A and B are shown apart, each in its own frame.
Chain A
Amino acid sequence: MAIPKRLESAAEMKKLMLRHFQAGWLAREEGRKVAFVTSGAPVEFLHAMDVVPVYPENHGAVCGVARAGGRLCQAAEEKGYSRDLCSYWKIDWGARTNPSESPIGGLPKPDILLCANNICRTVVKWYEGLSRFYRVPLLLLDMPFRHAEEEPAAREYVREQFRNLPDELARLTGRTWNEERFRESVSLSRVSSVLWEECIEANSAIPAPITAADQFLMMGPIVTMRGTQEAVDFYRGLKDEIRERVRRGEGAIEGEKTRLLWDNLPVWHQLRPVSEFLADRGAVLVGATYTNAWTERPAESSDATEAAADAYARVWLNMGLRHREEVIRRMTASFSTDGVIFHANRSCKPYSFGQEEIAARLKSVGIACILMDGDMADERDFAEGGWRTRLEAFVEQRDNHFHPGRKR
């Protein structure tokens, strides 16, 4: 079996993530507050107030990778949460009541909840439930969905909320707002995002130096540690490692034949099997819209608050399908892909509802697409046989299309 080459940076990433999870637990001893945050929340404000951010969504992904998602979801379902609810949400609930089932022992108790609905509105209901459960305050950032062009009133609405956030956090933490630290954190976010983008774009090289499966694992710090020096340092090292592979003409897999793009969150519990299954057939995932989403960043501006507001308002899932289609087209061109795999992720309705439409539009211009049903973190919703058969056929079809007559 062909196995994609491991990145040396993976070890450093693991250490970093371990420190990140520990920070939440150690915060109380250090006299610091803990905030649960959604992945699209402006964490830079928390850094400015020395509040430790903890990401329940990231915890959901970690549980997914460890294949603990199904058990934790089931615990939530036994409590009355529906089977069809987002698996991250259910995992979070399951781990609250069964922390030993979580590979990291669950999450510490938060003091504050910071929820931005720019990734979905499900998180709003999720965080309302957290607020009731822990009896802690919830700050909501409401980012109007952008179907087409940005409305000036929507921009001002988001900026107003961002301008209001320092006072709210000062009230809740009893600390004084530190503008300098905030500006520094926004700047670090920007730098780490640039570095992350360079890591992703390195895959325009043929062969691709890393797989998107690697990107999914390496994106941990850009999600949970953006706005910190640690994230910048990590992505600098990762970029150097990738650049070195490109210089040597070294691909992530041996004998790369087929290059594919991935849309949606990964199937966390199948990252390695899917990647190896593809590698065995000379196919490599060269990019993913989800990892690419974290290249969005605040522009350089004298007003860091406004720059951050504008950036967080245009995150991937807060944008209409046209935008998403354009980005996928751009990615398929710049990464010279042979097709797109759409993961129809039953847990993420905003990401998944509309994929058929995008796929139809892409097919009409000759871009091959396949839709695969699954769930990002609940292994009970994954049909291995069906995935293998369909993926194999798709890859073979792509291979035959581009290399007719060649014997495998």
Chain B
Amino acid sequence: MPSGVEWAFRFASEACRNPEAAVSRWRSLSGRKAAGCIPIYVPEEILHAAGMLPVTIWGNEFAPASSAVVPPFICSVAGGIVSSIRSGKWKEIDAWVFPSTCDTLQNAFEVLFPHNDERPRFPFVFPASAHVPGAPEYLLDRVEAFREWAGKVSGREVSEGALDSSVRVYNENRRAFALLEKRMAESPGSFTGREFLTFARAGMVLPKEAHTKMLREALARSHATPAETRAKVFLTGILATVPVMEALDAAGAAIVGNDLALGTRYYSGPTDEEGDMLLSLVRRHLRRDPCSTLHGIGRTRIDHLFDRFEGAGADRILLLRVRQCEPESGEIPDMADESRKRGIPFLCLDIDLHGEERISVTMRIEAFVEMGG
């Protein structure tokens, strides 16, 4: 009989290994529908309240398929999403939600579906900044429209009660994930990079209730401080990949903090549980942590990154830049300058979800871990 931690990791790994099968199982067991969410800012609570399974896809769930409509200068996240759907993957998804995360994903919405694909789809166009006049009113309108759409697609109206309950489910999940991150900061090496990635990714496809349970089981692991680590890494960027995490683990580095889009940026920020739930969702969105896909004033994101870096007790920063991702690229020189000024080792590693050079990644990460912190 596996321990709770082993069970949790196996469960998470299986969900990551074959996410479509996980969705398929859920659909057969529940008899309900699954909604595919393009990263990153879909108010999933609404889908959950409509009885649907929100599934966030990042473009590397499947081996890459060629797609005639994806030019080479498109990032591998969008390219992977488009090519997987156009090549017939994700058949278990009943409907799609596309947030206006970046230019590329906005356009992906337009080129994604083969002509005979009639699945319902919702473009969730949200304000680029919380500070723009009229942003809350506009966002509320979009959230209301999304609620109506979700009700129609699922056949189950999104009641205030259901939404209230879903908000609590999601908040519970966020709390559990925050505990995982806290443990990793307080007890470096308590979870490997590979484990962290697997747990984070499993939450993209599993129902949040199951994911929370899994995280709690994993957190039952002994609090004892593991063997000393060689580096305490803060990860930033859109997402980490298996080769990167394995290289970090092999080099003896511990991840003690992150602001990855597939990490803290996705899981952080509770929704107010009092009052009107749609307004709560609007407030949550407008209070989001600084993100490259949102407009920030001044040095907000850079300052936030270094605040979090210090809070996590990290000794170096690893920025994982998905090639061709423009939003993530603009602040890199300023981040590097600031790191240099503060004497913090900083590495920007370009990654391609469908063409990772494992040896090169390993060598660069080994060298990075060797650097004096």
Contacts and interface: CB of A to CB of B under 8 A. Distances in A.
A349 B111 contact: no
Interface string A111-124: 00000010011101
Contact of A161 (B74, B106, B134): B134
Interface stretch (A141-149, A190-198, A203-211, A248-256): A141-149
B110 A357 contact: yes
A121 B128 contact: yes
Interface of B: 68-74, 78, 100, 102-104, 106-111, 123, 125, 127-129, 131-135, 137-138, 141-142, 145, 292-293, 295-299, 321, 323-324, 326-327, 329-334, 336, 348, 350
Closest 3 CB pairs between A and B? Answer: A153-B141, A125-B330, A160-B134
Contact of B336 (A80, A140, A373): A80
A345 B125 CA distance: 25
A350 B103 contact: yes
A317 B246 CA distance: 41
A82 interface: yes
Contact of B326 (A153, A349, A356): A349
B110 A157 contact: no
A79 interface: yes
Contacts of B131: 140
A140 B295 contact: yes
A128 B296 contact: yes
A161 B133 contact: yes
A354 B332 contact: no
Contacts of A81: 329-330, 332-333
Given A129-B331, A160-B134, A349-B103, A85 B111 contact: no
A89 B327 CA distance: 12
A344 B127 CA distance: 28
Contact of A154 (B132, B138, B292): B138
Given A121-B102, A344-B71, 4 more contacts: A82-B321, A84-B73, A142-B127, A142-B295
B68 A80 contact: no
A153 B330 contact: no
Contact of A353 (B100, B111, B127, B333): B111
Contacts of A344: 71, 73
A357 B69 contact: yes
B71 A353 contact: yes
B329 A357 contact: no
Contacts of B100: 144-145
Contact of B330 (A84, A126, A320, A350): A126
Given A140-B295, A157-B127, A353 B134 contact: no
Given A142-B295, A353-B111, A357-B69, A85 B125 contact: no
A301 to B, nearest CB: 20
Interface of A: 79-82, 84-86, 89, 117, 120-122, 124-126, 128-129, 131-132, 138, 140-142, 144-145, 147, 151, 153-154, 156-157, 160-161, 164, 320-322, 344, 346, 349-350, 352-357, 360, 373
B333 A354 contact: no
Nearest to A158: B134
A145 B296 contact: no
Contacts, number: 156
Contacts of A349: 73-74, 103-104, 107, 324, 326
A350 to B, nearest CB: 4
B135 A142 contact: yes
6 contacts: A154-B138, A156-B138, A322-B110, A344-B73, A356-B111, A360-B69
Contacts of A355: 71
Nearest to A159: B134
A124 B107 CA distance: 17
B45 to A, nearest CB: 21
Contacts of B123: 145, 147
B295 A353 contact: no
A80 B332 contact: yes
Contact of B128 (A142, A320, A360): A142
B333 A132 contact: no
Contacts of A322: 110
Given A161-B134, A353-B74, A131 B111 contact: no
Contacts of B74: 349, 353
A349 B324 CA distance: 9
B332 A356 contact: no
A58 B63 CA distance: 41
A140 B73 contact: no
Contacts of B348: 80
Nearest to A361: B115
Max count, chain B CB within 10 A of own CB: residue among A84, A153, A322, A353 = A353
A157 B128 contact: no
Contacts of A350: 103-104, 106-107
Nearest to A81: B333
B134 A156 contact: yes
B129 A154 contact: no
A142 B129 contact: yes
B322 to A, nearest CB: 10
Contacts of B350: 82
A121 B103 contact: yes
Contact of B334 (A132, A154, A164): A132
A228 B21 CA distance: 61
Contact of A86 (B104, B326, B336): B326
Contacts of B324: 84, 349
A309 to B, nearest CB: 11
A161 B131 CA distance: 11
A373 B74 CA distance: 13
B106 A145 contact: yes
A138 B72 CA distance: 33
Nearest to B327: A125
A82 B73 CA distance: 13
Most buried by B among A153, A161, A344: A153
A97 to B, nearest CB: 11
A321 B115 CA distance: 14
